[in-house]
A and B are shown apart, each in its own frame.
Chain A
Amino acid sequence: EIVLTQSPGTLSLSPGESATLSCRASQSVSSTYLGWYQQKPGQAPRLLIYGASNRATGIPDRFSGSASGTDFTLIISRLEPEDFAMYYCQQYTRPPPEYTFGQGTKLEIK
């Protein structure tokens, strides 16, 4: 079983700063199968990034994703007030097909 570990648990930053969120896999994961989601309180998650580095439809270019081995990174540049939320990474594995998530990183206003 591949486990995704996100760090930090909480990240406190100010608007205008850049955020770097990490997701580490316990075993090799193809970057094709790695996604990032944003979730605000009381709302459904929203897909931000798929395939480790591809922005989903309508996602601003302030959001970028990268991969290096078992380490995946989400960078949010020039933080806007609406960016403060919970962020989850997700992997897809097979066989059998299965989606699993990291435990999340809370991005809060400093």
Chain B
Amino acid sequence: QVQLQESGPGLVKPSGTLSLTCAVSGESISSDRWWSWVRQPPGKGLEWIGEMYHSGGTNYNPSLTSRVTISVDTSKNQFSLKMNSVTAADTAVYYCVANGYFSLEYWGQGTLVTVSS
């Protein structure tokens, strides 16, 4: 079974860049599957950020596309999220996810990122 683990700074300053990495185990990131990032502000619902395929294809939430980049490192079997110009509204638990059949199948445990000075 696929396992995912997020890592990265838990605190980012306003206007800075949020950077997270997702380590994948149990499956090659080069398998025939897309890989996503999803976030959840404290006490609120889920928001899909975007997805990537190992060959480099990406799709982003239209509301975030100008600030987000998702990339892959196949040699390390991991993928990453960068979000620039962050504000307090970007404070959330960030999850990395292995996509399934038009669904989000396997989830990491999530990591809380707080945007504050």
- Residues of chain A touching chain B, judged by Cβ–Cβ distance below 8 Å, are 32-33, 35, 37, 43-47, 50-51, 54, 56, 88, 90, 92, 96-104
Contact = CB atoms under 8 A, between A and B. Distances in A.
Interface in B26-71: 36, 38, 45-48, 51, 59, 61-62
Interface of B: 36, 38, 45-48, 51, 59, 61-62, 95, 100-110
15 contacts: A44-B110, A46-B107, A47-B103, A47-B106, A50-B101, A56-B100, A56-B103, A88-B45, A90-B46, A92-B102, A97-B51, A97-B59, A98-B59, A99-B38, A103-B45
B54 to A, nearest CB: 16
Contacts of B62: 96, 98
B62 to A, nearest CB: 7
A5 to B, nearest CB: 12
Interface pairs A-B: 4 shortest CB-CB = A99-B48, A44-B107, A50-B103, A35-B103
Nearest to A93: B102
Nearest to A97: B59
B108 to A, nearest CB: 7
Contacts of B104: 35, 37, 45, 47, 90, 99
Contacts of B105: 47, 50, 56
A3 B62 CA distance: 15
Contact of B102 (A35, A44, A101): A35
